[in-house]
Amino acid sequence: MHAGHGAGLAAKTVGPPVQKGSTVLLPDAASLYDDLGQLTYGRQGLSAQFALQAALAELENARAVTLYPSGLSALTGALIAVLKTGDEVLVTDVIYKPTRRFCDHVLKRFGVTVRYFDPRQPPDELVGGASDATRLILMESPGSLSFELQDLPRVAELARARNILTVADNTWGAGYLMRPLDLGVDISVQALTKYVGGHSDVFMGSVAVNDPKLVRAMDDGVTNLGWAVNGEDAYQMLRGLRTLPTRLARHGQSALAVAAWLKQRPEVVEVFHPALAGARGHELWARDFAGASGLFAFSLRPATDLAVNAFLDALELFGLGFSWGGFESLAISCDPQLKVRKFRPQYGGPLMRLNIGLEDPADLIADLEHGFAAYAAAT
């Protein structure tokens, strides 16, 4: 039972060792209840988790990064860590649907008031409309369905003057194309499942902060709720992080090529890609982002659900699925998800979202042509 513990040092490899363990053996009796400055239980993380946290902190220019089992748990964990009964939170109306569900069904149940705001609202009006109970403003820039951008630096500046925290879902920017903390935002959240993982095969989320009080709040939140990520998943995320710049460059170039092609199609009313010249929010994108990722949307000319489904069903290279950020291209229709929004601008027709993967953009364009042929026949 006790054999093999002192088997010698592991060889040095390019990746960290993956340790598996719940129990952490401590050096002496005095260390058993010394929780400050030492690791006492495996749920706190081991070698691979610590290596990933350090790399993500460098990526986001953060003092500390906390890991969560999914992107959704990262967002909900950040909210739980800083909100209390009687607080109010202002949430962008384009927020990720599962986050909205948490706000509507969990935060409200615990006495937190949730108010949704139009992402097109000027920052002065947004922060000026906050109440004395407003504790936090939750943003997603760009929104992951309709791609509205918000003026993060201005909102953060105005909110800080009123002692209101700001949170940004930065999954589209992946911590590499945009750094919310550098723009003055207090808390940067990512679904690492998307671009950092890059292969649609592992769940994880992260929260990056700089303020020492927020560092403690996030650590306490994870400890008190018992969240943890395992070493093998952390290793996979770290492996994905190593190729993130290379993959994002390809995603971004291919997506812009497809978006520019779609802009010329007679079936398309508008392309919603902030990095596309002339698109909504392009000025904010050019100021705040160092590049573009592969996720964007476009609206079709008005047609029946039958025609929209015919378009999607005719696609062969594009899979039909709800995630994004992986190597494979995906397509979905967005209109069913827009029904819960309080502010619904006109998009001109059915809204479609594409995740442009790592395939040849010429092949993806050819696949979309098949979709348009089916759409025309059904229309």
Strand order in the sheet with 295-300: 268-272, 295-300, 351-355, 330-333, 319-320
Q: Which residue out of 169, 186, 233, 288 is catalytically annotated?
A: 169
Q: Which residue out of 68, 87, 93, 96 is catalytically annotated?
A: 96
Give the Cα separation of 82 and 290 in Å (integer).
30
Structure tokens at 98: 């599962």
DSSP strand pairing (268-272 vs 295-300): antiparallel
Cβ(144)–Cβ(119) below 8 Å: no
Start-to-end Cα distance in the chain? 71
Q: Which residue has the tokens 């709720």?
A: 225
Structure tokens at 376: 């025309």
Query: Where are the alpha helices (H) located in the chain, listed in sequence order?
Result: 47-60, 71-82, 97-102, 123-128, 152-161, 212-225, 231-242, 244-263, 282-288, 305-313, 335-338, 361-378
Known catalytic membership, residue 339: no
Residue positions counted in the chain = 379
- Looking at residue 25, its amino acid is L
DSSP letter string, 203-264:
--EEEEE-SHHHHHHHHHHHHHHT----HHHHHHHHHHHHTHHHHHHHHHHHHHHHHHHHHT
Structure tokens at 307: 């025609």
Known catalytic membership, residue 97: no
DSSP strand pairing (295-300 vs 187-191): unpaired
167 secondary structure, DSSP code? E
Of 268, 234, 274, the C-alpha closest to 375 is: 268
Q: Which residue out of 43, 101, 250, 263 is catalytically annotated?
A: 43
Known catalytic membership, residue 43: yes
Q: Which residue out of 100, 135, 179, 194 is catalytically annotated?
A: 194
Give the Cα separation of 134 and 112 in Å (integer).
10
Dihedral sign (CA 269, 272, 274, 280): positive
Known catalytic membership, residue 201: no
Catalytic residues, by residue number, are 43, 96, 169, 194
